[in-house]
Amino acid sequence: MSRDHALDDWYPVGDTVLPQIRATRLLGSDLSVSWDGETAAVTGTDGTAWPVQVRYDHIWTCLGPSPRPLFDIPEAEQPGRRRVPCGSVRVKCSPLRAVENFLDIAHFPYVHTGILGAEPHTEVFPYEVKIREEVDEVWATKVSFHQPKAAKSAGTGADIRYEYRVPHPMAAVLYKTCPPRPAEWDVIAIFVQPVSETECIAWPWMALYDDTSSQAELVQFQQEIFLQDRSILENQIPVRLPLDPRMEIPTRADLTSVAYRRWLKRRGAVYGALSEAE
C-alpha cells in the first residue's frame, strides 16, 4: 500500500544541465530518461511513456494513474536570481531520512563544522513549527543559528535566519538569510528520487542572489555539504524512518522532524517509513 500511495507523486529523475540519455530507477521500477536540451522523455522497460514535467531545472515524472499537482516555488521565477542545479548524491538510506536530515539544524556544528556550524555555537534556539492546513505543508519559522560560512558568498560568520517548508513527502525547501541582500531570502531545496524504500538520489537545487561565485563554486559548495551528510545517513538505524515517536526519542531541537513524521503518517505517505505495526 505504501508504494501505491507514492505512485501519484512527481519525482525528479534527472536535471537539465546537459543533454543526456540515462538509465535510472524510481520506486523500484527501471526507467530511461532522455533530455535533448528542449524536450524530455521518460520511458519504462516495457516502452511505457510516463508523463513528464521540466520544473526547477529538473526532469520530473509520475508513475501513478492520478498525479497530484507538483508544488510551486515562486522564487524560481524571480528576476536576478541564479538557479543552480547542484548535481546528485546517491545515498543508501530511506528517501524520507534524506528529507528529515535536511530539516535538522542540530547536526550543523558536528557534521558541517566550519561551514554551517561550529562549537561552541551549538544551541538550537526556540522556533515555531506548524502544519499549514490550507496548503497541507509543514513549515518551521523563526529559526536562527550561528554559521561560520552560511553561503558561498558569505565572507564571515553570522546569525542566520531560516524558514523550512515541506510541500512534498520527498522534497523540502529552505529559505535563509541572503548575505548580499539582507532583505531577501536565498532558496535551497532538496528534491529526492526514491530508488527504493532504502536507497535514494538527492538532487540539491538553489535559487539565490550571488554575483561573485562561479556556477562550479556554488555546485561544489552544496556537494560538499551533502557528501558530509551521506556518511551519517548511511549509518542510521533503522534504515527506514520510524513514524512511531516511541521508537526514537525527540528533543526540543527536533520539532520539525516530529511534525514531518506526523504529517507523513496522516497523509499515508509511508513509502520508506517504518510503521508501528512492524
What pLDDT, on a 0 to 100 scale, did the predictor assign at position 144? 82
Domains held by the chain: number? 1
Distance of CA 150 to the CA centre of its chain: 17
d(CA 81, CA 182): 14
Grid cell 545517513 — which residue? 233
Grid cell 492546513 — which residue? 133
What pLDDT, on a 0 to 100 scale, did the predictor assign at position 143? 87
- Domain presence at residue 156: yes
CA distances (Å), origin 3, targets 7, 8, 57, 118, 177: 6, 9, 26, 40, 37
What are the backbone angles phi and psi of residue 83, rounded to the nearest 5°? -95, 125
What pLDDT, on a 0 to 100 scale, did the predictor assign at position 42? 98
| Structural domain of 83 | 72-274
- Domain presence at residue 245: yes
- Domain presence at residue 29: no
What residues contact 244, with CB distance under 8 A and at least 6 apart? Answer: 274, 275, 276
- Domain presence at residue 56: no
Grid cell 563554486 — which residue? 217
> What are the grid coordinates assigned to 6, written together?
507514492
d(CA 170, CA 193): 8
- Domain presence at residue 39: no
Is residue 243 a contact partner of residue 276, using CB atoms and an 8 Å limit? yes
- Domain presence at residue 108: yes
> What are the grid coordinates assigned to 34, written together?
532522455
Grid cell 526532469 — which residue? 59
What are the backbone angles phi and psi of residue 111, rounded to the nearest 5°? -100, -35
CATH number of the domain bearing residue 112: 3.90.380.10
What pLDDT, on a 0 to 100 scale, did the predictor assign at position 149? 54
- Domain presence at residue 48: no
Give 199-246 as a DSSP string: EEEEEEEEEE--SSS-HHHHHHHHHHHHHHHHHHHTT-SSSSEE-STT
Which mean pLDDT values do the consecutive 10-residue runs of the chain (278 residues) have?
89 97 98 98 97 98 97 95 96 96 68 50 75 97 73 62 95 91 92 98 96 92 85 90 73 78 94 77
What are the backbone angles phi and psi of residue 132, rounded to the nearest 5°? -80, 105
- Residue 99's closest CA among 36, 192, 186, 161? 192
- Domain presence at residue 242: yes
